[in-house]
Amino acid sequence: MALDKLVVGHSPHIKSDESIRRIMWTVVLALTPAGVFGIIIFGWYALVMMLGSMAVCIATEWIILKLTGRDAGQAFDGSAAITGMLFAMVCGPLVHWYVWVVGSIVAIAVFKHAFGGLGCNIWNPALMARAFTLAAWGKDLTQGFVYPDGTAGATPLGVVKLAKEGVPIDTEYLGLNELFWGKTAGCIGETSAALLLLGGIFLIVLKYVDWRMPLSFILTCVVLVWILPYKNKAAQDIASGWVWWKEPLFAAFSGGLFLGAFFMATDMVTTPVTKTGQVIFGVGCGILTAIIRLYGGYPEGVCYSIIIMNTATPLIDRFTRPRKFGAKEYARTTS
């Protein structure tokens, strides 16, 4: 029978005229302006990292698909390319080549295909690769951030952490204008909030991204960072003199908040399907990010907040799925 050959793909099942290939490569297109800006600011090695990471991810996926007897052409549907590009964009511009090569392989082989491949992974592979490489090569991954004038230094959030500990700081690249346009230190793809916002709006207009997710994520983080107290009085006294740190825009434009909110928290596989669930997910990410930024030992919390909320996605979907029409009446009549 014809039905014997029917193969049902992995959930969630969403009716759409769009193909996986078209959606994935469109997301790559949306990321490109921020990626190009990273190359302009940090140099050609940033291009080598992005293209190299994408190539390693695609090659790893192709090999795994071949070994498991599946269609190797799926390696070029854009999903592996996005993983490679995102992973490179959350790395510093001076990371050694073996770090992003191993990270790219682990992202696809372990955090994607070990769970069954596209549509089955629990966590965002690019973020899990970032967490893995940070644990394995923490010093290599976090040092060597470069400012536009070629000098090395900490990221804006790293500078804030140092200042709260009483270390003298230089605020030359910490103004809102520098943070918004990207004239500051940071990971390759996270510095320009303007271009990330442009790419995010592009995906929202195309309806590839629901605006509720990034908006709830960003607003929650910004408001909490703005109103929550610091963890000690000395930090509060130091911060009270920094108008820019008190401003919510600094919290929004610094770090990887825009990159995470628009391009990682909106991953179709690892985030809730329902609109209510997406808001809950975004709020949860914002709360965790703010707590880590204010009280954690690590200055940035976007990566870990999304990973933690990825784990809660099945539970969120379970409790936010729409009630079937007439289900309550049916239960009453059958009881």
Domains along the chain? 20-320 (1.10.3430)
Q: Compute φ and ψ for 152, nearest 5 degrees.
A: -90, 150
Task: Evaluate if pTM is beyond 0.85.
Answer: no
Instruction: Give the chain's end-to-end CA distance (angstroms, integer).
Output: 40
**Element (DSSP H or E) covering residue 221:** helix 212-227
Q: What share of the chain is helix, strand, coil (3-state, %, to 5)?
A: 65, 0, 35
Return all residues near 16 (Cβ < 8 A) that are at least 6 apart. Answer: none
- Amino acid 149: pLDDT: 45
Mean pLDDT by runs of 10 across the 335 residues of the chain is: 55 65 93 92 91 96 93 90 95 89 96 89 94 86 53 48 47 64 78 91 94 95 82 49 59 85 92 93 95 80 93 93 64 53
- Amino acid 238: pLDDT: 46
From the number of C-beta atoms within 10 Å of its C-beta (0-12, 13-18, 19+), residue 125 rates as buried
Q: Work out the angle at residue 208's Cα, subtended by the Cα atoms of residues 127 and 85, and round it to the nearest 5 degrees.
A: 35
**Two tokens at 205?**
């207009």
Task: Return the amino acid letter for 165.
Answer: E
